[in-house]
């Protein structure tokens, strides 16, 4: 290959922007629509197969390969391509390219420069500092800007300066942000410095050529090119609308932002400050308009056009939109005369008098000569320092004449971002700004900081006025008096009176979020970006690797909101990987159920359980709807916003769904043996005196459970042991084997636990806890006819297990002198009599989930497969995005290490040092609240 050919091949492809909306006819895909501003990459170099006035280009926004007339394309200078590439909005690309000066400023802006970034609501600007500029990954040409947020925006970022593990710059967590060029607003000082440099150095020829090329499209009517017939895929572009009109003018706009202007309205001339000058979105052909911040409340524009925020105003009454032809620069006669240059040393550190301050008439002339120079870095020039404009020397006037002077002062000011505005003449409107007595505020630009000590009215001034105590002395300050009337007290030269609408919150501190009704906020609109889908089809739970792949990660599980962790953990434990409780979802509706029952069943099945099993995620708005139904059904008004316990939630839920009780228990000590039904069972370790004839056990004197409580060992009990002792000493039996058995662990307040650790037994044997069931003798395995409570603690006969005997063994065991005081109970034998050893199947239940609590926060562990290490950990509030009005981020992670501890015996577990337990194992063993067991075989029939 020749050198010329190699250089030609390596030359980077040109980039273009589509000049107008296009429709492209394709033989295979039909009509392809392109938006003006779509970014295209040239695919063939000129002279090498690209003949005529058409180019083959690849549209980077959608990947289409199309042929477009060159007249419908705007070439992008190579040095600006990287800045436009990450901009997702095509209209924003055109707007940026129409202002190449701003793009060049961004391209050469030094690191550490101050700027503003659009963040949050449309039109909301935040102060930031440039820390990085360039691509985020290797091989990428898109240029993004890494910013350090400052002032009230601190904590509203989404990074610490790193991207995918690569540290691009350093900053605290939540203070970094990567944004494209269209979200950056240059500060006025940076624009002024750059304009001065541009006057000293001529602009590059490529820039003028690009502007000329961009403006040439404004008056061209491009005829649609004819389709090519020589290709199988013939894609030809034709304009879908009027010829392209650039959003940006070729020459600078007639008015600059911040310039003073005036206009006639209702036989009066009103003045204000330009906040916007340019064409409206989608109306470039109709000329430019001017948005004005008015001096008086006669406006009717909020700064938006067709839903797009163009600029910001304090309120609707202070914004006005006019065609540029009806606006004129404010004449000098309406402005203040030039200042008197008779500076005098100030009382304290030099600080400019706020332009928006209200100065009493008697202070105007007295303070005039004390006006210090502005806070700007003096340059070594022979020219005198220009002082800011001040009020003319006037004679003392009555308060009625003060209004005009005040309006004159304000009209010449250039306030910064303002708080929400006020309607003139309405008391109490200042509450809408969020400012009140005691609020920390700033005024003027550069800002002066202080605290509001008084808000009220001053004679002759139609608006509310704030009295502020400044942080530093001011030559034009007072001691809290105005026109001889004291409104508050402060040190001399620290008091300042300004109109309340010119006050804004202190940008050095984050603004407090407005209190929001979190119950009403949790809806499909506010949680739209976090929403989950509805699934009508019955969806079985997933298991093993499929469950781990679907559930594991952030934004997985059930999203928490407003103290909902008790509900989230309970539902995830019951339904994520187990179907033993699915009967509550599939019960047929009865006429007596009521509308709330059917609504709750449909909500639980189609909005929560099925989406959880299908997609692995459920939004908090779905569970909030269920909480509202529970609150409406019960007399308890706290289900939507208060902390609850899982057993309270499950009982209310099953009652609402008219679910048949999961457990049926009978007392064997009562003569009538009345059947009791419930959904959960609370384990109560017995507190009975030890039998005097039994040897002293290792456990405490008031518990028959073997607890290893030496000084260097944990007190440990298994769920199997707790269940047996609780049933035995309460004289209870299961009337029938349950398909699902929720067991609540014994806890006595948050500061005291009866056990250091509770071992959730992987399987529990309930054979000996079933009533009217054949049981084996503990000694000879024949059919048992007697059961003895006191023998449970006997260390000579299999301690820690239920003792039941046949007739012969019962006589022999209790013939011993130390057991003669025992009182064995007769056990009913069904279908008897029976002879010989009993060969039967033991009834066992398997552990499938554990709900734990720590500091009033519930989490869950779920077993998702048959292996001992198949465990998942779920936390509905593991992370948080935003502040008080933010969103919780649920998290599911794999925790195979807990399987190793669950396979240990009580004796081995009690010897483990609690400090050596890993976090998940510690939470599972030491903070267990509810253990869920099930019988997969029985669940098929119930």
CA dist 937 and 45 (Å) reads: 71
pLDDT, tens digit, 9 for 90 and up, residues 648-674: 999 999 999 998 899 999 887 765 567
Cα separation, 488 vs 116, in Å, equals 36
Q: In the structure, what pLDDT confidence band is assigned to residue 411 with cuts at 50, 70 and 90? A: very low
Closest CA to 616 of 522, 567, 552: 552
* pLDDT tens readout for residues 92-106: 888 888 888 888 888
Percentage of the residues of the chain whose pLDDT score is greater than 70:
72
Q: Strand, helix or coil at 603?
A: helix
Nearest to 756 by CA among 540, 546, 912: 912
Query: Which letter does DSSP use for residue 70 in this model?
Result: G
Average pLDDT over residues 353-366: 52
Contacts of 755 (CB under 8 A, 6+ apart): 707, 715, 716, 717, 746
Contact 185, 179 (CB under 8 A): no
- Is residue 864 a contact partner of residue 547, using CB atoms and an 8 Å limit? yes
Measure the CA–CA gap between 927 and 567, rounded to whole angstroms.
17
CA contacts within 13 A on the Cβ side of 397: 18
For the record, the structure tokens of 569 come out as: 């953990």
What is the Cα–Cα distance from 26 to 373, expressed in whole angstroms?
A: 68
- Which is nearest to 352 in space by CA: 294, 414, 435? 414
Q: What is the mean pLDDT of residues 69-91?
A: 88
Alpha carbon 864 to chain centroid, angstroms = 29
Interior angle at CA 86, CA 251 and CA 121, nearest 5: 80
Confidence of residue 189 (pLDDT cuts 50, 70, 90): low
Judged against a pLDDT cut of 50, whether residue 252 lies above it is answered with yes
**Cβ(287)–Cβ(317) below 8 Å:** no
The backbone region for 557, taken as left when phi is positive above 0, alpha when psi lies in -120 to 50, beta otherwise, is: left
Burial of 194 (C-beta count, 10 Å sphere; 0-12/13-18/19+): middle
Using DSSP's 3-state secondary structure scheme, residue 391 falls into: coil
User: Which pLDDT score is estimated for 10?
Assistant: 55
What integer pLDDT is reported at residue 778 of this predicted model? 77
Q: Round to whole Å and give the CA distance between 152 and 175.
A: 11
pLDDT for the residue 421: 33
Question: Please, which pLDDT band fits residue 153 given cuts at 50, 70 and 90?
Answer: confident
SS (H, E, C) 460-518: CCCCCEEEEEECCCCCCCECCEECCEECCCCCCCCEEEEEHHHCEECCCCCCCCCCCCH
What number of other Cβ atoms are within 10 A of residue 663's Cβ? 18
List the one residue out of 866, 869, 878 whose CA is nearest residue 921: 869
Q: Render pLDDT for 445-454 as a digit per residue (tens, 0 to 9).
A: 788 999 999 9
Distance CA 219, CA 250 (A): 12
387 DSSP 8-state letter: P
The residue with greater pLDDT, 896 or 352, is 896
Could you give the CA distance from residue 554 to residue 878 in angstroms, rounded to a whole number? Answer: 9
Kindly report whether the peptide bond that precedes residue 446 is cis, defined as omega within 30 degrees of 0: yes
Mean pLDDT for the stretch of residues 238-248: 37
Residue 217, pLDDT > 60, answer no
Q: Pick the closest to residue 142 from 180, 113, 172, 178 (CA basis).
A: 180
Taking residues 250-264, report their average pLDDT: 75
Q: How much is the pLDDT for 455?
A: 92
Query: pLDDT-derived band of residue 939, with 50, 70 and 90 as boundaries?
Result: low
pLDDT tops 60 at residue 748 = no
The pLDDT tens digits for 424-479 are 333 334 445 678 888 999 998 788 999 999 999 887 788 899 999 999 988 878 89
Other Cβ atoms within 10 Å of 173 Cβ, number: 12
The residue among 708 and 410 whose pLDDT is bigger is 708
Q: With contact defined as beta carbons under 8 Å apart, do 315 and 422 qualify?
A: yes
What's the rounded mean pLDDT across residues 4-17? Answer: 64
The number of CA neighbours under 13 Å toward the Cβ of 314 is 30
Q: Which of 425, 415, 390 is nearest to 317 (CA)?
A: 425
Q: Do 740 and 581 contact (CB within 8 A), yes or no?
A: yes
Name the architecture of domain 260-333.
Roll (2.30)
Residue 690 scores a pLDDT above 90:
no
Q: How far is CA 695 from the centre of its chain?
A: 61
Sign of CA dihedral 750, 754, 757, 759: negative
Whether 67 and 56 have beta carbons less than 8 Å apart is answered as yes
All structural domains of the chain with their residue ranges: 14-133+188-250, 260-333, 340-375+387-512, 774-841
Which tokens in the block code for residue 792?
């449970």
- pLDDT of 391 > 60? The answer is no
- Of the CA atoms within 13 Å of residue 650, those in its CB half-sphere come to 28
CATH of domain 340-375+387-512: 2.30.30.190
Cα 47 to Cα 50, 53, 74, 917, distances in angstroms:
6, 11, 19, 73
Active-site residues, by number, are: 565, 857
Confidence of residue 375 (pLDDT cuts 50, 70, 90): very low
pLDDT score of 803:
80
Tokens of 6: 């190699």
At 838 the pLDDT is 64
Q: Which pLDDT tens digit goes with each residue over 772-813?
A: 777 778 778 788 878 887 787 776 776 667 788 887 888 888
Q: Place 855 in a pLDDT band, splitting at 50, 70 and 90.
A: confident
Specify burial of residue 750 (Cβ count, 10 A radius: 0-12, 13-18, 19+).
exposed
Distance, in Å, from the CA atom of 467 to the CA atom of 430, rounded to the nearest integer, reads 13
Interval 512-542: pLDDT, tens: 666 778 888 888 777 888 889 999 999 999 9
Task: Give the helix/strand (H/E) hosting 234.
Answer: none
* Rounded Cα distance, 180 and 217, in Å: 26
Dist CA 602 CA 756 (whole Å) = 41
Query: For residues 212 and 545, which has the higher predicted lDDT (pLDDT)?
Result: 545
Q: Which two tokens stand for residue 106?
A: 């961004």
Instruction: State residue 840's pLDDT score.
Output: 65
Distance CA 277, CA 324 (A): 8
pLDDT value at residue 712 = 59
Q: Taking a C-beta distance cutoff of 8 angstroms, is the pair 804, 787 a contact? A: yes
pLDDT digits (tens, 9 = 90+) for 557-573: 999 999 999 999 999 99
Residue 381 has pLDDT above 80, yes or no: no
Q: Which of 776, 774, 793, 785 is nearest to 811 (CA)?
A: 785
Starting from the edge strand earliest in sequence, which strands make up the sheet with 804-805, in order?
804-805, 786-787, 825-826
Q: Tell me if 260-333 shares its fold with 340-375+387-512.
A: yes
Give which of 798, 760, 763, 756 is closest to 781, Cα–Cα: 798
Quote the pLDDT of residue 297: 83
Buried b (16+ CB within 10 A) or exposed e, 403-437: eebbebbbbbbebebbbebbebeeeebbeebebee
Q: Print the SS3 string covering 612-641.
A: HHHHCEECHHHHHHHHHHHHHHCCCCCCCC
**How far does the chain reach from its first CA to its final CA, in angstroms?**
79
Residue 414 has pLDDT above 60, yes or no: no
Taking the C-alpha atoms of residue 528 and residue 459, their distance in angstroms, rounded to an integer, is 50
pLDDT tens string 580-591:
999 888 887 787
Helical H segments across 1-89, by residue range: 3-10, 78-84
pLDDT digit string (tens) for 890-900? 999 999 999 99
Q: Is 800 left (phi over 0), alpha (psi -120 to 50) or beta?
A: left
Token pair of 620 as six digits: 């908090």
Q: What is the pLDDT of residues 119-134, one digit of tens each?
A: 876 777 888 899 999 9
Query: Are 77 and 171 contacting, i.e. CB atoms less than 8 angstroms apart?
Result: no
Longest Cα–Cα distance of the chain, Å, equals 124
Range in 216-220, 471-475, 543-547, 637-641 the model is least confident about: 216-220
What pLDDT sits at residue 635?
74
Which range (318-327, 400-409, 612-621, 910-919) has the least confidence? 400-409
The whole-number pLDDT of residue 138 equals: 79
- Range among 194-198, 380-384, 488-492 with highest mean pLDDT value: 488-492
Residue 832 has pLDDT above 90, yes or no: no
Considering the chain, what is the average pLDDT of its residues?
A: 76
Q: How many other CB atoms are found less than 10 A from the CB of residue 854?
A: 13
């Amino acid at each position: 290959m020749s050198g010329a050919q190699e250089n030609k091949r390596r030359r980077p492809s040109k980039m273009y922007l589509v000049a107008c909306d296009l429709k492209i006819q394709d033989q295979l895909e039909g009509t392809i629509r392109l938006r003006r501003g779509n970014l295209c990459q040239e695919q063939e170099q000129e002279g090498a197969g690209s003949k005529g006035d058409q180019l083959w280009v690849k549209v980077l926004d959608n990947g289409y390969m199309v042929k477009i007339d060159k007249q419908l394309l705007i070439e992008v200078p190579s040095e600006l391509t990287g800045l436009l590439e990450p901009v997702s909005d095509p209209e924003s690309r055109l707007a940026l390219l129409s202002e190449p000066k701003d793009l060049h400023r961004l391209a050469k802006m030094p690191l550490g420069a101050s700027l503003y970034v659009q963040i949050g609501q449309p039109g909301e600007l935040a102060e930031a500092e440039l820390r990085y500029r360039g691509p985020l990954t290797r091989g990428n040409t898109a240029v993004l800007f890494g910013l350090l947020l400052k002032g009230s925006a601190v904590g509203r970022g989404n990074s610490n300066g790193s991207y995918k593990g690569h540290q691009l710059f350093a900053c605290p967590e939540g203070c970094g942000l990567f944004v494209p060029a269209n979200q950056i607003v240059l500060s006025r000082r940076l624009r002024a410095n750059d304009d001065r440099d541009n006057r000293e150095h001529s602009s590059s020829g490529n820039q003028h050529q690009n502007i000329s090329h961009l403006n040439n499209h404004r008056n061209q009517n491009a005829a649609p090119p004819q389709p090519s017939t020589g290709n199988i895929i013939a894609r030809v572009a034709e304009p879908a609308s009027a010829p392209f009109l650039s959003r940006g003018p070729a020459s600078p706009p007639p008015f600059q932002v911040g310039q003073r202007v005036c206009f006639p309205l209702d036989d009066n001339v009103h003045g204000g400050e330009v906040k916007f000058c340019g064409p409206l979105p989608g109306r470039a052909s109709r000329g430019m308009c001017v948005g004005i911040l008015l001096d008086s409340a006669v406006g009717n524009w909020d700064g938006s056009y067709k839903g797009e925020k163009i600029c910001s105003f304090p309120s609707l009454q202070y914004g006005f939109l006019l065609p540029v032809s009806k606006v004129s620069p404010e004449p000098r006669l309406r402005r203040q005369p030039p200042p008197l240059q008779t500076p005098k040393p100030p009382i304290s550190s030099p600080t400019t008098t706020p332009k928006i301050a209200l100065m009493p008439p008697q202070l105007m002339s007295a303070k005039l000569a004390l006006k210090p120079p502005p806070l700007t870095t003096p340059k070594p020039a022979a020219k005198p320092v220009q002082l800011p404009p001040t009020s003319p020397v006037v004679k003392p006037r009555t308060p009625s004449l003060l209004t005009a002077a005040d309006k004159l002062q304000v009209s010449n000011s250039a306030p910064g971002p303002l708080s929400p505005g006020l309607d003139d003449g309405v008391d109490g409107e200042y509450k809408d700004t969020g400012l009140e007595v005691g609020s920390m505020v700033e005024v003027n630009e550069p800002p002066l900081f202080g605290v509001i000590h008084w808000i009220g009215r001053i004679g002759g001034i139609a608006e509310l006025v704030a009295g502020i105590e400044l942080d530093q002395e001011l030559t034009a300050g007072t001691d809290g008096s105005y026109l001889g009337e004291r409104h508050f007290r402060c040190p001399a030269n620290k008091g300042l009176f300004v109109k309340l609408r010119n006050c804004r919150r202190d940008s050095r501190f984050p603004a407090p979020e407005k209190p929001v009704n979190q119950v009403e906020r949790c809806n499909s609109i506010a949680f739209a970006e976090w929403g989950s889908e509805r699934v009508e089809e019955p969806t079985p739970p997933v298991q093993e690797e499929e469950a781990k792949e679907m559930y594991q990660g952030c934004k997985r599980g059930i999203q928490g909101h407003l103290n909902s962790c008790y509900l989230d953990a309970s539902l995830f434990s019951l339904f994520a990987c187990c179907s033993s409780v699915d009967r509550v979802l599939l019960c047929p509706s009865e006429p007596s159920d009521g509308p709330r029952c059917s609504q709750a069943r449909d909500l639980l099945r189609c909005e929560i359980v099925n989406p959880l099993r299908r997609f692995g995620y459920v939004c908090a708005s779905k569970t909030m709807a269920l909480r509202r139904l529970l609150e409406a059904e019960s007399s308890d008004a706290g289900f939507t916003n208060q902390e609850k316990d899982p057993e309270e939630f499950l009982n209310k839920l099953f009652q609402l769904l008219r679910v048949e009780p999961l457990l049926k228990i009978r007392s064997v000590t009562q003569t009538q043996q009345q059947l009791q039904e419930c959904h959960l069972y609370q384990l109560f370790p017995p507190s009975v005196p030890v039998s005097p004839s039994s040897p002293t056990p290792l456990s405490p004197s008031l518990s028959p459970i073997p607890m290893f409580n030496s000084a260097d060992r944990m007190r440990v009990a298994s769920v199997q042991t707790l269940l047996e002792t609780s049933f035995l000493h309460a004289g209870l039996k299961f009337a029938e084997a349950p398909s699902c058995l929720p067991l609540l662990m014994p806890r006595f307040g948050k500061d005291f636990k009866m056990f250091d650790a509770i071992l959730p037994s992987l399987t529990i044997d309930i054979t000996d806890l079933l009533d009217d069931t054949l049981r084996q003798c503990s000694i000879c395995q024949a059919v048992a006819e007697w059961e003895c409570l006191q023998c449970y603690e006997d260390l000579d006969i299999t301690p820690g297990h239920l003792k039941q005997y046949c007739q012969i063994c019962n006589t022999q065991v209790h013939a011993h002198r130390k057991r003669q005081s025992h009182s064995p109970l007769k056990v009913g034998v069904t279908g008897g009599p029976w002879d010989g050893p009993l060969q039967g199947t033991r009834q066992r239940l398997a552990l499938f989930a554990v709900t734990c609590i720590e500091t009033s926060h519930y989490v869950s562990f779920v077993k998702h497969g048959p292996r001992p290490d198949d465990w998942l950990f779920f936390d509905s509030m593991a992370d948080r995005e935003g502040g008080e009005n933010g969103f919780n981020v649920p998290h599911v992670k794999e925790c195979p290490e807990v399987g190793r501890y669950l396979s240990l015996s009580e004796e081995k577990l009690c010897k483990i040092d609690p400090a050596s337990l890993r976090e998940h194992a510690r939470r599972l063993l030491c903070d267990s609240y509810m253990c869920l067991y099930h019988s997969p075989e029985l669940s098929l029939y119930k």
